[in-house]
Amino acid sequence: MKRRGTAVALATLVVGSLCAGAPQARAEARAAEADFDLDTATIPELQARMADGSLTSSGLTTAYLRRTKAIDPTIHAVLRTDPTALRQAAASDVRHRRGDVRGPLDGIPVLVKDNVNTRGMPTTAGSLALAGSPPDRDAALVTRLRDAGAVILGKTNLSEWANFRAAKPTSGWSAVGGQTNNPYVLDRNPCGSSSGSGAALAASLAQVAIGTETDGSIVCPAGMNGVVGHKPSLGLVSQDGVVPISAEQDTAGPMARNVTDTALTLAAIGDAAHLPDERTAPGGLRGKRIGLWRLPSLGPEVDAVMTRTAEKLRSAGAEVVEVTPPYQERLAELEFPALLSEFHRDIDAYLATREGPRNLTGLVEFNRAHPAERTCFAGQELFERALAAPPTTDPAYRAMRAESKDLSRRSIDETMAAHRLDAIASPTNPPAWTTDCARGDNDVIPSSTPAAVAGYPSLSVPAGSVDELPVGVLLMAGDREDGRLLTLGAAVERRLHAWRAPRYLPSNTP
């Protein structure tokens, strides 16, 4: 199936979720040639305007660049904009005038997390160690975005090394970009590691963004910044040219303000051979069975959001049953030691393709020699533990990874089979904690782990808020169920109607 056909199929699956955001919320910036709302406009709406001539990609790109200039100094989400963005947009305008549009993303501005290689622009993973020469080629997913006609608008800040450097890091901080702030309450954390991507979307600085995840790094920033984030099935999106933690769990994925745009972006960056080929109309919730995994450890206020979520889904005809996926304690014991071994292997392989430190030992030495790498937190305990971890050829490591994959898949598969579920739902995140370099993160969030370790898809959709701070609902399903999960997510999004624009409050503490 051709990629453009796949994109149309995915759009058909989720088109009912258009404009899930609250209509009264308005971005201050307006597109130059048409009076419409950057907060709530969707890709199909933008393409319709480009088709009838009331909007150009140049006008849309200019609007986002102007908004970034005005808003980003408050949230520090965008590291740099691409100086070629307007040239890319002008080329898209020519294609639109000729009727030679490449697909739904043609002319759509996209921000890319700064651990994804972009030729001609630095790709740093937030570290000064990689701040020299840019990569000499794009990551495979960036090539796909360019082939789809997307405008690469710029690069977003992230938790340095995707939060895999220190034992107590501060999400959203990097030596290259400083601290990204949560747009809803500025002294609160945006979660990580795709912090800048989530915060930029909440602030309407791009139409869509690319994040990456090993465990929670797409879905948690999506939840905490009140946007949509999809962690694809492992292998659906190529990791070639992405700074790694673990090939056994890493994936890039799309983030947006609605499920429709998220699905269209997945269609552009994913492997067409493994994308869903379903053309059914978007369904509702009637007859769907959803397992609610409450996670009371996230607090009574989050649990109340989940109770209201369940009530709304039931009122739309869904059956919601309470579940507790098994094996979670053992998974927590197994995941991290395996990641240490895999990180040493995979980061050494990546660094060999870049100028700068050539291996993990070189990174450790670089951080010791550069005080700017220690201005928020000094530790690099995970780097040091990875150096001491057994190699991935070690039988004990192999047994650990095999057991973790088996248990994580069984935790989802057995729960879904026992309760005849269409998906499992859980809270994506607690309310954002106060950013504090001395203390570090307060982010023990177990909901993302089963799908992350299993390599199964998960999708965070806005569910509500606690004291101005967004909370997401995380949906997960079986391997390669991305299309069905997005369809269900669109129906959940329509029913909850929870998105709202941020107010950039300095604090919500009395």
Tell me if residue 194 is catalytic. Answer: no
H/E segment holding residue 179:
strand 178-179
Distance between CA 302 and CA 223 in Å, rounded? 12
Tell me if residue 113 is catalytic. Answer: yes
Largest interatomic CA distance in the chain = 62
Q: How many CB atoms lie within 10 A of CB 441?
A: 22
Given 17, 113, 155, 204, the catalytic residue = 113
Using H for helix, E for strand and C for coil, what is the string for 457-510? CEEEEEEEEECCEEEEEEEECCCCCHHHHHHHHHHHHHHHCCCCCCCCECCCCC
Give SS3 for 123: coil
Of 428, 341, 349, 455, the C-alpha closest to 392 is 341
Q: Judge whether 39 and 45 are in contact, CB under 8 Å.
A: no
Q: Show the tokens assigned to 2.
A: 């051709």
Distance between CA 472 and CA 488 in Å, rounded? 15
Q: Judge whether 229 and 459 are in contact, CB under 8 Å.
A: yes
Given 17, 58, 159, 193, the catalytic residue = 193
Given 127, 217, 411, 460, the catalytic residue = 217
Distance between CA 450 and CA 56 in Å, rounded? 43
DSSP conformation class of 283: P
Q: Is residue 133 reached through a cis peptide bond, with omega within 30 degrees of 0 on the bond before it?
A: no
**In Å, how far are 57, 119, 256, 374 from 43, measured between CA atoms?**
12, 26, 10, 41
DSSP conformation class of 202: H
Q: Judge whether 313 and 290 are in contact, CB under 8 Å.
A: yes
Tell me if residue 507 is catalytic. Answer: no
User: What is the radius of gyration, based on Cα positions, of the chain?
Assistant: 21
Q: Which residues are catalytic?
A: 113, 193, 217
